[in-house]
Amino acid sequence: MKKILIVDDEPNIVMALEYTFKKNNFEVFIARDGQEAFVILKNQLPDLIILDVMMPLVDGYATLTQIKNDERLRDCKVIFLTAKNKEKDIEKGLALGADLYVLKPFSVKKLVEQVHQLL
């Protein structure tokens, strides 16, 4: 079973994604910010991380930088899922190593398809 870590501080998005990915036979882990994500990542090695940019404590950019600097996590696929829609934000996310940059609002169905393509 493939594992997904969802890192987002918006409860409605987290609930929708958790439900959908569990229904699609993924094991799902949830973190509300980057700091909480690293607590989970100490014990779990997900196949893919869905990461928001704007979060309390540790934002998505800093979280992705830490992920890519960690030898265990370096090859993990990462999708930014964010409302930050300026060209410079998208370029920064991709330059830091995100595999995909998806803008909110988004289609859950399309996101699931994109996850399947990446994995």
CATH of the domain at 20: 3.40.50.2300
Confidence of residue 95 (pLDDT cuts 50, 70, 90): very high
d(CA 95, CA 107): 24
For the chain, how many structural domains are there in total?
1
Query: pTM of the predicted model, to two decimals?
Result: 0.96
Residue ranges making up the domain that contains 79: 3-118
User: For the segment 16-71, what is each residue's pLDDT rounded down to a tens digit?
Assistant: 999 999 999 999 999 999 999 999 999 999 999 999 999 998 999 999 999 999 99
Confidence of residue 86 (pLDDT cuts 50, 70, 90): very high
pLDDT of residue 3: 98
